[in-house]
């Protein structure tokens, strides 16, 4: 029952957001909107990147790319939300208990399939080129480190040659396209696992470095005056 309610909530949120964004002619004043949240998160980094371009013509061209690219990724976000919602509804209705052997993981595999389809289509849209020499993003050492990090959190991955072959096969289905797409859009792909522990969002604020520098300067000034 909980999965059905969660799935219907996700479907309602995505469909309502799409309706308000595409169909409604007037501005929606509701605070919690998926599209508004999406553009607030994407516009800031894009604008910050374009500010570094000194040529006015190139800067305006980069700003012009934001509109169509953001729309494509917004459609992909809506599609992923619909797939997740339908998977939750099917799971809640007991599809995983039928004789077909469906599980929630298998239902969520649809998300992977659609995401892979979207990545392939986007690679063709931006005319991305396959790079046969792109480095392995998950070598054996990184995979071992990832396994240890997950096992420390009580999430044990399957081991053995069969599991590694399946992982390699899944990665080969989408990773070359993701790498080519990132190279075409000049995007740096994040690692599977960061080398150091990253602070939580509540621990980071935009003025932290300036405040720390000021406090450090004040402390140094105090010790200096005390010394003399």
Q: What is the pLDDT of residue 99?
A: 46
Q: What is the pLDDT of residue 226?
A: 47
Higher local confidence (pLDDT), 18 or 91? 18
Q: Is the pLDDT of residue 223 over 60?
A: no
In the chain, the N- to C-terminal Cα span, in Å, equals 72
Higher local confidence (pLDDT), 1 or 184? 184
From the centroid of its chain, how far is CA 23?
27
Q: Are 150 and 157 in contact (CB under 8 A)?
A: yes
Higher local confidence (pLDDT), 157 or 119? 119
Q: Is the pLDDT of residue 152 over 50?
A: yes
Q: What is the pLDDT of residue 70?
A: 87
Q: How confident is the model at residue 13 (pLDDT cuts 50, 70, 90)?
A: confident
Q: What is the pLDDT of residue 222?
A: 47
Q: Is the pLDDT of residue 221 over 70?
A: no
Q: Is the pLDDT of residue 127 over 50?
A: yes
Q: Is the pLDDT of residue 41 over 60?
A: yes
Q: Residue 65 to residues 47, 105, 115: CA-CA distances in angstroms?
A: 11, 36, 22
pLDDT averaged over every residue in the chain: 79
3-state SS record for the chain: CHHHHHHHHHHHHHHHHHHHHHCCCCCCCCCCCHHHHHHHHHHHHHHHHHCCCCCHHHHHHHHHHHHHHHHHHHHHHHHHHHHHHHHHHHHHCCHHHCCCCCCHHHHHHHHHHHHHHHHHHHHHHCCCCCCCCCCCCCCHHHHHHHHHHHHCCCCCCCCCHHHHHHHHHHHHHHHHHHHHHHHHCCCCCCCCCCCCCCCCHHHCCCCHHHHHHHHHHHHHHHHHHHHC
Q: How confident is the model at residue 25 (pLDDT cuts 50, 70, 90)?
A: low
**For 73-123, how does the pLDDT look when each residue is reduced to its tens digit (9 = 90+)?**
888 888 888 888 877 877 777 654 444 555 556 656 676 777 788 888 888
Domain boundaries, the chain: 1-125, 129-195
Higher local confidence (pLDDT), 69 or 227? 69
**For 163-197, how does the pLDDT look when each residue is reduced to its tens digit (9 = 90+)?**
888 888 888 888 999 999 888 888 888 888 877 66
Q: What is the pLDDT of residue 84?
A: 83
* Proportion of the chain above pLDDT 70, given as a percent: 80
Q: Which of 21-25, 142-146, 214-218 has the highest mean pLDDT?
A: 142-146
Q: Are 46 and 7 in contact (CB under 8 A)?
A: no
Tokens of 161: 């040659």
């Amino acid at each position: 029952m909980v999965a059905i309610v969660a799935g219907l909530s996700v479907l309602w949120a995505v469909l309502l957001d799409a309706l308000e964004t595409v169909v409604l002619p007037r501005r929606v004043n509701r605070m919690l909107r998926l599209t508004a949240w999406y553009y607030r998160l994407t516009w800031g980094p894009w604008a910050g990147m374009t500010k570094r371009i000194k040529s006015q013509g190139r800067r305006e061209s980069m700003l012009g790319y934001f509109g169509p690219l953001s729309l494509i990724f917004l459609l992909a976000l809506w599609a992923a939300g619909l797939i997740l919602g339908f998977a939750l509804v099917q799971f809640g209705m007991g599809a995983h208990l039928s004789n077909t052997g469906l599980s929630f993981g298998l239902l969520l595999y649809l998300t992977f399939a659609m995401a892979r389809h979207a990545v392939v289509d986007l690679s063709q849209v931006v005319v991305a080129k396959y790079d046969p020499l792109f480095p392995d993003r998950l070598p054996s050492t990184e995979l071992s480190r990832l396994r240890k990090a997950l096992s420390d959190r009580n999430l044990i991955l399957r081991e053995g040659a069969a599991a590694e072959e399946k992982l390699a096969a899944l990665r080969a289905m989408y990773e070359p396209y993701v790498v080519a797409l990132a190279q075409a859009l000049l995007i740096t792909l994040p690692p599977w696992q960061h080398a150091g522990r990253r602070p939580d969002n509540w621990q980071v604020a935009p003025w932290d470095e300036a405040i720390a520098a000021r406090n450090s300067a004040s402390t140094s000034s105090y010790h200096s005056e005390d010394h003399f």
